Amino acid sequence: MSSRRSVCRGCGAEIVWVKTEAGKSMPCDPGAVPFWARPGAPGKVVTPLGKVVSCDFIGERDRVSGFGYVSHFSTCPKAKEFKRK
């Protein structure tokens, strides 16, 4: 997987850019976390294969879907300012 580190222009947090299947780069929080895929779930992760998946971040350990990078848009305190653009 190709990713490069940088810093969020909104909140100054460290982020990584993760390439999605669609060929776009998505700003994500550094470090992969376990996720539980569920259609319509509020969370969004990008898997190491570049798939963007709706998910929960808590669930039963033995039913975990995999590990992925959390979209920084869902955690950034300044996310609203990005959307205004």
Q: Which of 10, 34, 59, 66 binds Zn ion (CB under 5 A)?
A: 10
**CA dist list (Å): 17 to 47, 52, 61:** 12, 13, 27
Q: For the segment 17-46, give every residue that binds Zn ion (CB under 5 A).
A: none
Shortest Å, Cβ 64 to Zn ion:
26
For Zn ion, the binding residue among 26, 28, 53, 76 (CB under 5 A) is 76
Element (H, E) at 46: strand 43-46
Among 3, 11, 50, 73, binds Zn ion (CB under 5 A): 11
